[in-house]
Amino acid sequence: MDTPAQSVTPGAMMLELVMLPVSDIDRSIEFYRDRVGFTLDVDVRPAPGVRVVQLTPPGSHCSISMTDGMGGTGMEPGSLRGLHLVVADMESARGGLLERGVDMGPVQDLGGVLYSWFADPDGNTWTLQHMPWRS
């Protein structure tokens, strides 16, 4: 990772990793790295039949992980819904994804907060979210 690890302060509960259920890890790496722009941090095979992949969205301290051969997460591929990616500029972020071939939903203004949705090849859904007061 490009960013140093944050110290964990007393009382903190830092979300750092979300398991993503996918059916094809290589296809998912291509989607998240090459289309969505995540950084591929880890792609290891620590034991026969075991694979661990971790990717991180630009600027995020929370990553996604996809595994094979480690037992199930209890989630079917494509069953994760509504992960949010907070962006400073909706048009720029959405436009970049569209240019790289990501099928984006229209921008919707819901009470001053802008949203645009997309799905990965398995159907896991993501939301770009822009809150103007955070820019």
Supply the DSSP symbol for 4.
Answer: P
**By C-alpha distance, which of 1, 81, 87 is closest to 36?**
87
Supply the pLDDT for residue 3.
Answer: 53
Reduced to 3 states (helix: H, G, I; strand: E, B; else coil), residue 33 is helix
Supply the pLDDT for residue 89.
Answer: 96
Overall number of domains in the chain: 1
Distance of CA 135 to the CA centre of its chain: 20
Q: Among all chains, which residue has been given the structure tokens 């026969």?
A: 48
List the CATH number of the domain containing 50.
3.10.180.10
What's the rounded Cα separation, in Å, for the pair 103 and 99?
A: 10
Supply the pLDDT for residue 1.
Answer: 43
The answer as to whether 8 is a domain residue is no
The answer as to whether 96 is a domain residue is yes
The answer as to whether 57 is a domain residue is yes
**By C-alpha distance, which of 123, 122, 121, 58 is closest to 93?**
58
pLDDT, one tens digit for every residue, the chain (135 residues): 455 666 888 888 989 999 999 999 999 999 999 999 999 999 999 999 999 999 999 999 999 999 999 876 789 999 999 999 999 999 999 999 999 999 999 999 999 999 999 999 999 999 999 999 887
Supply the pLDDT for residue 20.
Answer: 97
What's the rounded Cα separation, in Å, for the pair 38 and 2?
A: 12
The answer as to whether 113 is a domain residue is yes
Q: What is the pTM of this model?
A: 0.90
The answer as to whether 2 is a domain residue is no
The answer as to whether 32 is a domain residue is yes
Q: Which residues form the domain of 31?
A: 17-70+78-134
Distance of CA 77 to the CA centre of its chain: 14
The answer as to whether 48 is a domain residue is yes
The answer as to whether 6 is a domain residue is no
